[in-house]
Amino acid sequence: MAKKMNRDGGGLFDIESPMAIELRRIMIRLGRQLDLGRKRAIMVTSAERGEGKSLFSLHFALVLAYHLQKEILLLDADVRRPVQHTVFQVPLEPGFAELLAGELKFADAAHPTKVRNLHFLPAGHAGGNPSRLFSGDRLRETVRKLHERFDIILFDSPPVVPVSDPLHYLEAVDGTLYLVMAGQTHRDVSQRGVEILRSAGANVLGVVANNLAEVLPYYYDRKYYGYSR
């Protein structure tokens, strides 16, 4: 987390920190590829766990809410190993899993946060067979209903190499941001993750190289690790 936390970040983030500035640059570049003035769903994923994906998703959602002044939903889509609910200090369930299963009303799904325009949907309890939740048109219809209330939905997705869940999400999102841990993630593993996404028809918007130890740099380049359209 940032060393200094002011009220603009709801006690979670310093919106004027160097990291926030880098995230805003990513937001601006992303907006040139994907019109953020329209209803959008964006997935954040990585090759493996431990690459800072959930922390990036949290901070990026805060930056979007602060700068775009639109209704933002941070959705913890990692139903196997959820973490975001601990940050917002809300119950794990009911949440995304219950919404997909038809056990939760949309009006009751999202939690407001201390940050204006930002809401949060926890992962919920998926049970022993999470893949069953993604059958048929459940996911696409769920996102459509959420878009009736929220402008931008940010999926904090599981990593793509160990599980197939992110591939199900592709049918419901407009694009994917792919995270790598700079100086740590093996290049072959990162390339494997990109290949999995590309073979499934993902719209990979770009790669964010993340260095949590030094906070900076964050940078964004869709051609990183050999990805090209």
- What H or E segment, with its residue span, contains residue 154? strand 152-156
3-state secondary structure of 201: coil
Q: Which two tokens stand for residue 172?
A: 């419901």
**Average pLDDT for runs of 10 along the chain of length 229:** 42 73 88 90 91 89 91 94 91 91 88 93 85 82 94 96 91 92 79 92 88 49 40
Q: Sketch out the chain's domains with CATH numbers.
A: 19-226 (3.40.50.300)
For residue 46, give Cα distances in angstroms to 120, 122, 195: 21, 19, 12
Q: What's the confidence (pLDDT) of residue 182?
A: 74
Q: What's the confidence (pLDDT) of residue 13?
A: 65
Instruction: Please answer whether residues 49 and 159 qualify as being in contact, where contact means their C-beta atoms are separated by less than 8 angstroms.
Output: yes
Q: What's the confidence (pLDDT) of residue 229?
A: 41
Q: What's the confidence (pLDDT) of residue 222?
A: 45
Cα–Cα distance measured from residue 80 to residue 182, given in angstroms and rounded to the nearest whole number: 25
The secondary structure of 162-189 as a DSSP string is T-SHHHHHGGG-SEEEEEEETTTS-HHH
Q: What are phi and psi of 105, to 5 degrees?
A: -75, 140
Q: What are phi and psi of 155, to 5 degrees?
A: -85, 115
> Which residue is it, tokens 């048109």?
137
Q: What's the confidence (pLDDT) of residue 219?
A: 44
Q: What's the confidence (pLDDT) of residue 112?
A: 93
3-state secondary structure of 120: strand
CB within 8 Å of 164: residues ≥ 6 apart: 131
Instruction: Please answer whether residues 20 and 6 qualify as being in contact, where contact means their C-beta atoms are separated by less than 8 angstroms.
Output: no
Q: What's the confidence (pLDDT) of residue 2?
A: 35
Q: What's the confidence (pLDDT) of residue 10?
A: 55
Q: Which two tokens stand for residue 218?
A: 């964050």
